[in-house]
Amino acid sequence: MNTMTGHIQLRPYQAEAVRNVLESWEDGVDRTLLILPTGTGKTVVFCKIGEEALRHGGRVLILAHRAELLEQAQDKFESVTGIRPELEKAESTTIDSWCNIVVGSVQSFNEKRLAKFSQDDFTHIIVDEAHHTLAASYMRVLNHFNAKVLGVTATADRGDKRNLGEFYKTVSYEMTLSKAITDGWLCRIRALTLPVRMTVSRTQSGDYTLNDCASAITPYLEDIADQLKENASDRKTVAFLPLIATSQLFRDLCRARGLDAREVNGESDDRAETLEWFHNAGPGSVLCNSMLLTEGWDEPSADCVCVLRPTKIRSLYVQMVGRGTRLFPGKKDVLLLDFLWMSEKHDLVRPCHLVAKNPDLAERISEIMAEETQEEGGRDLLEAEEAAESTAREEREEALRKELEKQRKRQRQLVDPLQFEYSIDKAATAFVPDETQLWQLAPVTDAQKAALEKAGIFPDEITCSGHASRILDILKKRRAEDMTTPRQIRCLEKYGFRDVGTWKFDQAKTLIDRIAGNSWRVPAAINIREYKP
């Protein structure tokens, strides 16, 4: 595949992602996911995929939910492919149009508008920010068209915990945030936990409400502004706050401390001007926003992220932090300011959840990061992850060592099957399975192993199901005749007694009791080699 697209050369992982998605579609998988961290060029990738679909005679719809994402997709597709998509939004429509590439607003596709489209009008649909896919507005569109679907997202998590696997059948390609950083495609993340304790209450089954978040942080905004001044005055900071009022208040508090702060929100008339200011601003600048810039905004020069919107939704947290992970000349890392959030349950997303593979590792990373002092400037997240994994690996190895030792002790307490058979019958011969009875040749079953071990026989030395069956039959018969058990045989033959397998159960028990009563030493009056019960 040619990885040159317009004036853009795809990175190796981008080319692999394109190839994997196209192969999934060719293999008959009509609903697939592409997961790339924020800042790794997912828009470039899906534009290339769209171009390939067009090249093979398809008609493509790129579906998004915000004006910024629509404009971004439209501009990026043109810059990557040289083709300018048409818009399906508000008064702008592509119904009955010959255009083969359309960027559409999901809100515009109401039932009345959808009815004007044939189910076969689009051969391919690309869903930007695919973690929204299961929303009713998206499903209405996706269920209307008979099209192959690609969902593109930075994270497959959803706030309502519903599994995207309800819709998508496969993940064609996924790159983790850790790998993107390690491979040098994103900058490293340094997390600093600041000594500001804030409590947020859970009032509903979903995420924390914006009003609850605002109530939780407002009493502490002055302390937070002080911490921002102390720890990030040499950086360009983007701060996420829950409400316009809190965002504007925090802007004013930052200004009062000598920081160059401005605020932008969905109602701002000067939004473009403010974003342009931040683009050209230097260290000590702070851009406050009330959750406006989580998607569709790129500013690689930002090297500090201040999350003042506590959330239980990892995808939302990833989007906020992703505003600062892009590479930029002279940018060494992004500083992620963390706070001591107190909640009723341990369900808040924290920096550790950006890289942790499981809850246990997340807890370990948090513990390691908590050991860092404020003066040390925080902890590199990947270094903390590596340290946590190293500790977990050592603990797993120690647990394995103990388990192996336990197994060895258990094995020492069990009787070798050959020893058992020879003890009960000196003329015993090795078991030879009857090859006409195929069941005898089969491996020892789990049930047979459990029964043998329970009876005191070491099962690992038994080679086939037929041999196991023979020993289990012998054990059953011996129990019925009150003969010695495998453990009695092992115990007494360890002291040198012979042919214990021919004794009665009570005879062996009496002797073992005498030995135990003599501090587990054979009484001097007993001649081991000549002893007969």
Q: What angle do CA 306, 352, 317 make, to 5 degrees?
A: 45
Q: In this structure, how many other beta carbons lie within 10 angstroms of the beta carbon of residue 402?
A: 10
Determine the pLDDT at residue 3.
Answer: 38
* CATH code linked to domain 181-392: 3.40.50.300
How confident is the model over 211-240, as pLDDT tens digits?
888 888 899 899 999 999 999 999 999 999
Determine the pLDDT at residue 46.
Answer: 93
Determine the pLDDT at residue 4.
Answer: 39
Q: In sequence order, what are the beta bridge partners of 115?
A: none
Element (H, E) at 70: helix 67-81
What is the pTM assigned to this prediction?
Answer: 0.69
Contact indicator for 246, 306 with CB cutoff of 8 Å: no
**Distance separating alpha carbons of residues 206 and 288, to the nearest angstrom:** 25
Determine the pLDDT at residue 183.
Answer: 94
**Distance separating alpha carbons of residues 77 and 80, to the nearest angstrom:** 5
Please name the CATH architecture into which domain 4-175 falls.
3-Layer(aba) Sandwich (3.40)
Q: Three-state SS string across 341-366, please? A: EEECCCCCCCHHHHCCCCHHHHHHHH
Element (H, E) at 127: strand 124-128
Q: Rounded mean pLDDT of 507-524?
A: 92
How confident is the model over 20-59, as pLDDT tens digits?
999 999 999 999 999 999 889 998 999 999 999 999 999 9
Residue 374: pLDDT over 60: no
**Distance separating alpha carbons of residues 8 and 77, to the nearest angstrom:** 11
Would you list the domain boundaries of the chain?
4-175, 181-392, 417-517
How confident is the model over 148-207, as pLDDT tens digits?
999 998 876 655 545 788 899 988 999 989 999 999 999 999 998 887 777 776 555 567
Domains 4-175 and 181-392 share a fold: yes
What DSSP assignment string belongs to 377-420? T-EEHHHHHHHHHHHHHHHHHHHHHHHHHHHHHHHHTSBPHHHH
Q: Rounded mean pLDDT of 499-522?
A: 92
Contact indicator for 63, 141 with CB cutoff of 8 Å: yes
Residue 378: pLDDT over 90: no
pLDDT over 90, % of the chain: 42
Give the contacts of 465 (CB within 8 A, at least 6 positions apart): 439, 440, 441, 442, 443, 444, 445, 448
